[in-house]
Structure 1
Amino acid sequence: MAPPPLASREAVREERLGDVWSNELNDVFADVAPYYDRANNIAALGQFGNFLRRFMQLVDLQPKQKVLDVCAGTNAIGIALLKREPTLDVHAMDRSVAMQTVGQQRAAAQGFQIKSTIGDVHTLPFPDSHFDVVTLQFASRHLRVREVFTEILRVLKPGGHFHHSDMLRPRNPIVKNLYYTYLRGCLGITGMIVGSGPAAVKAKQYFLDALELFYTAEELSILLRELGYIEVKVDTVFHGMLGFHRATKPVPATQALPD
């Protein structure tokens, strides 16, 4: 299946995936919450921790900054950030009560406080220019990307940074075919190992379709610039299978003082 042109990508994603986003994903993540981190590590051949560390190395932090982790899941990002800088004010937002319940338990067990908000990340319940840093990892394939990235730009302070990581659609067709072949087998085997429930098993084809309709690293960079981000940079691994994007909210030009 060839992806649609960039200009119509979001409309096609909504048409083909919107029903799952609205009606099925909550059940999927309630199913996978207890074993989500273990399943990711199995599917990544034990490399999930390395991906997280690489992502964290790219995140710029200063003491006492206010940070928002969007689609925070089990709070892997928030915990990793607080391990680097314990003075951070970390907020986590996710639609899944089950995932955040696990995430809050994990944070508390390590002595960290993460402020949790349950809700739809397409409409962030925070003021304009509120956060120094916003992160988003392994969730954009399940989102209306333009809407969420626009909201993130709104809540970032001028000069603040958005750090994004996700599985991407490789540009090279040979790499892409090998990647999808691996994922088809991997999803089934991982599900058997961790004991996936009916909702997660049913969603197997959805996860493949969501990746097929997603963005390459270059396309996601273009989208970020179109939305108004500047200083967009990307680091990829495995020939574009995984990408780490960094983008900045512009600082308004200082208005000239009247004579």
Structure 2
Amino acid sequence: MNYCYASKEIDREKAFQPIWSNELNEVFSDVAQYYDRANIFATLGLLNRLRDRFISTIDIQPNHKVLDVCAGTNVIGISLLKKQPELDVYAVDRSVAMQEVGRDRAQRHGFRIKAFICDVHHLPFPDNYFDVVTLQWATRHLRVIDVFSEINRVLKPGGHFHHCDMLRPANKLVEEFYYLYLKAIMGIIPRVFRSGPASLKCRNYFIDAIRMFYSTEELSALLSELGFSQISGHSVLGGTVGIHKARKPQLAAG
């Protein structure tokens, strides 16, 4: 493992582990009922377009086993089932409240998603189990090396990992304007959606987590370090969002 990535992960964990362990569950319990509406608001209505772009990168076939990591309210699983109803979709998340919203949403669409509440750094599935794994809008709250390694483990050889998240813009000017926007929007959302104390307490964290996160290019390089191949990474909205696709290599013959 490249030293700079290992060192960065140590720094991220030192800075944020108390929040990751003790506060984020309360935050997501607080925001679960309005989480999707708040994200649409925060992205000025662009979230659905970003989601459609992400979904368009995912190649799925009937009976594929698909795992959605940090599935939240099951928006991605439902979108994939609309695209291919014969998928076998699994969801993992740490938040019971978010998954309760996701379960109800899937049922309203007539879909069944197999849900597991767990620590996503330790996925409760055997090796080489899934054809496709997705992860979106959550990686900045995780130990990236650990969770990406677990995703590699549960993917079948030749399977694909699809990732989308808010990233740190590579352009410094864009980066500073981005933080100003986030600071402003994080001041507005609690008033619009009447956020509770847990969410209010973590407003600065959500900006700091991006400051210490990766750019699109850095995340591509990290995926390569962890053994993924055929990696593509695309920056969206000036590098504030990155969409990645990577493949677990096939086993060598013989």
Same fold (TM over 0.5): yes
Instruction: Find the counterpart in structure 2 of residue 69 from structure 1.
Output: 68
In the aligned structure 1, how far is the partner of 2:88 from the partner of 2:55?
Answer: 16
Alignment of 1:238 onto 2:231: no
Structure 1 residues 88-237: aligned runs within 5 Å: 88-237=87-236
Q: Where do 4+ consecutive residues of structure 1 move more than 4 Å?
A: none
**Secondary structure in 1 matching 2:124:** coil
**Secondary structure in 2 matching 1:81:** helix
Alpha-carbon shift at residue 238 of structure 1 (Å): 1.4
**Secondary structure in 2 matching 1:125:** coil
Instruction: Find the counterpart in structure 2 of residue 55 from structure 1.
Output: 54
Alpha-carbon shift at residue 5 of structure 1 (Å): 4.6
Instruction: Find the counterpart in structure 2 of residue 19 from structure 1.
Output: 18
1:233 corresponds to which letter in structure 2? S
In the aligned structure 1, how far is the partner of 2:139 from the partner of 2:37?
Answer: 20
RMSD: 1.0
1:217 corresponds to which letter in structure 2? T
Instruction: Find the counterpart in structure 2 of residue 252 from structure 1.
Output: 251
Alpha-carbon shift at residue 253 of structure 1 (Å): 1.1
In the aligned structure 2, how far is the partner of 1:61 from the partner of 1:150?
Answer: 22
Cα pair 1:135 1:164 within 8 Å, conserved: yes
Structure 2 gaps of 5+ residues are: none
Write out per-residue CA displacement over residues 199-226 of structure 1, whole angstroms, 9 at most, x where no aligned residue: 0111001101101000000000010000
1:147 corresponds to which letter in structure 2? D
Alpha-carbon shift at residue 33 of structure 1 (Å): 0.3
**Secondary structure in 2 matching 1:239:** helix
In the aligned structure 1, how far is the partner of 2:132 from the partner of 2:222?
Answer: 19
Alpha-carbon shift at residue 188 of structure 1 (Å): 1.2
In the aligned structure 2, how far is the partner of 1:184 from the partner of 1:162?
Answer: 31
Equivalent pairs: percent with the same residue? 57
In the aligned structure 2, how far is the partner of 1:187 from the partner of 1:38?
Answer: 14
| Length-normalised TM-score, structure 1 | 0.96
Alpha-carbon shift at residue 6 of structure 1 (Å): 3.7
Q: In the comparison of the two structures, how many residue pairs are matched?
A: 252
Alpha-carbon shift at residue 187 of structure 1 (Å): 1.0
**Secondary structure in 2 matching 1:106:** helix
In the aligned structure 2, how far is the partner of 1:8 from the partner of 1:219?
Answer: 14
| Length-normalised TM-score, structure 2 | 0.98
**Secondary structure in 2 matching 1:87:** coil
Instruction: Find the counterpart in structure 2 of residue 81 from structure 1.
Output: 80
**Secondary structure in 2 matching 1:50:** helix
Write out per-residue CA displacement over residues 218-258 of structure 1, whole angstroms, 9 at most, x where no aligned residue: 00001000000000101111121101000000001101xxx
**Secondary structure in 2 matching 1:120:** coil
Instruction: Find the counterpart in structure 2 of residue 43 from structure 1.
Output: 42
Structure 1 gaps of 5+ residues are: none
Cα pair 1:70 1:134 within 8 Å, conserved: yes
1:103 corresponds to which letter in structure 2? G
In the aligned structure 2, how far is the partner of 1:7 from the partner of 1:199?
Answer: 30
Alpha-carbon shift at residue 8 of structure 1 (Å): 1.2
In the aligned structure 2, how far is the partner of 1:5 from the partner of 1:231?
Answer: 22
In the aligned structure 2, how far is the partner of 1:239 from the partner of 1:193?
Answer: 27
Cα pair 1:6 1:219 within 8 Å, conserved: no
